Amino acid sequence: MSSRKKLQNIFCISLSLLTLFSVSAFSQIAFSKFENNSSYEGNWELAYDVPNFISSYVRESFELISLSPKNLEYEITHSKSDSLTILEFINQLGFKYFVTGKISKFSISRFTAGEPKLAGYETYSNDISLTLNILDLSSNKIIFSEIFSNEISDLGVGVTIFGRESASKREFYNLDNIRFGSSEFVQTLVGKNMIVICESFTEKAKSVFSDLKQTKVQIPKNNTEDSPSPFVRKIIKGEILLIDHENKEVFINLGSSDNLSVGTVLSVYAIGDSLFDPQTNIFLGIADRKVGEIEIVEIRGERFSLGIIRSETEEVKKGNQVRKISVLPR
């Protein structure tokens, strides 16, 4: 390929970039289509659906611009840059990281017990295992590679009486009719399991993405996924109720109703100084200061959890506030 032709292609990419986003900060994270080695044979297209879901979660979690594989493929198809590899293409677009993945397990199973025409219970479970890699495009090296696995079940809450169809059974058989990643999907058992996977990924990848400039989220102009995000970014606040300093255990008034899960890390804050307007001397409020972090090890109720003190810059005390910026279903 001639140098002139290559320059023309690069110019086309640059022009596409200017029309793709309306802000000066370009996309930081791009997601590839995942390799699907699972035995799942339903209607969902996991190779695209799973990375699309994670991309949406990352976008809300870090307030960054991330591009899903379908949008990325759309841009490549319409870029007139067929001579460039996918890595060269996204590098030219100003991306910092490229996320690839492999789905090794995605199983949905149902279990029944008792007499179908009398009474019994039905339950179903979802088991997911996937590998996520982050490629640093500036060095062309993989800087992050982790396996994320989680199995979740409804614990037999689908009780049947005299053959009546349970809520668990209805959800199980209706799964394939629900669009993967929709607001309805995130309320299902599979959706909740995907959120657990996403939470684990964003927590472990936090150090990788922390150097990226936070900007107002912009959706590509030629966005092929016109449905709104099923997530919303919220600040979860709670309080330390009791501390066992010897074992570094703490009990807090947050739990399953706050979408906490085992492994969730929350920051701990103590009351700081009173703040006054320097010109009028009017009292503005009370500042707080971060004094440590706790990690949830057991969910004991809707508003009750056990955690351990993971770090502290000063003594964590009863009454300290705990909080976390969390991405939750709308």
pLDDT digits (tens, 9 = 90+) for 180-194: 988 888 888 898 899
Domain with 259 in it: 231-329
Residue 215 placed within a domain: no
Q: Note the pLDDT of residue 9.
A: 44
Query: CB under 8 Å to 92, separation ≥6 — which residues?
Result: 10, 13, 14, 17, 81, 84
User: Within a 10 A sphere around the Cβ of 150, how many other Cβ atoms?
Assistant: 20
Residue 275 domain flag: yes
Same domain for 189 and 258, yes or no, is no
Q: Are residues 162 and 240 in the same domain?
A: no
pLDDT at res. 283: 84
Q: Which amino acid is at 282?
A: I
Query: Could you tell me if residue 196 is inside a domain?
Result: yes
The predicted pLDDT at position 277 comes to 84
Beta bridge partners of 146: 132
Do 184 and 308 sit in the same domain of this protein?
no
114 assigned to some structural domain? yes
Are 125 and 151 within 8 A, CB to CB?
A: yes
Rounded to an integer, what distance in angstroms lies between the CA atom of residue 119 and that of residue 76? Answer: 56
Q: Are 44 and 34 in contact (CB under 8 A)?
A: no
The pTM score is 0.67
- pLDDT 10s digits, 281-306: 898 888 889 999 999 999 998 899 99
* Residue 156 and residue 285 in one domain: no
Are residues 125 and 90 both part of a single domain?
yes
Predicted confidence at residue 325, as pLDDT, reads 75
Q: For the chain, which ranges sit under pLDDT 70?
A: 1-27, 80-82, 111-122, 155-170, 172-173, 211, 213-229, 328-330
Residue type, 234: K
Number of domains the chain is built from: 2
Q: Give the per-residue pLDDT at 59.
A: 84
Q: What is the structure's pLDDT at 188? A: 86
11 and 122 fall within a common domain: yes
Q: Are 325 and 237 in contact (CB under 8 A)?
A: no
pLDDT value of position 6 = 42
User: Is 230 exposed, middle or buried, given 0-12, 13-18 or 19+ CB atoms closer than 10 A?
Assistant: buried
Contact between 240 and 318 under an 8 Å Cβ cutoff? The reply is yes
Note whether residue 167 is domain-resident: yes
Last residue of a domain, one of 160, 179, 209: 209
Report yes or no on 219 lying in a domain: no
Residue 183 sits in a domain whose CATH number is 3.40.50.10610
Same domain, 170 and 243: no
> Same domain for 109 and 149?
yes
Domain boundary among 174, 209, 244: 209
pLDDT given for residue 4 in this prediction: 45
What do you get for the CA distance between the two ends of the chain, in Å? 49
With respect to residue 223, please indicate whether it lies within any of the assigned structural domains: no
User: Would 218 be classed as within a structural domain?
Assistant: no
One domain, residues 305 and 167: no
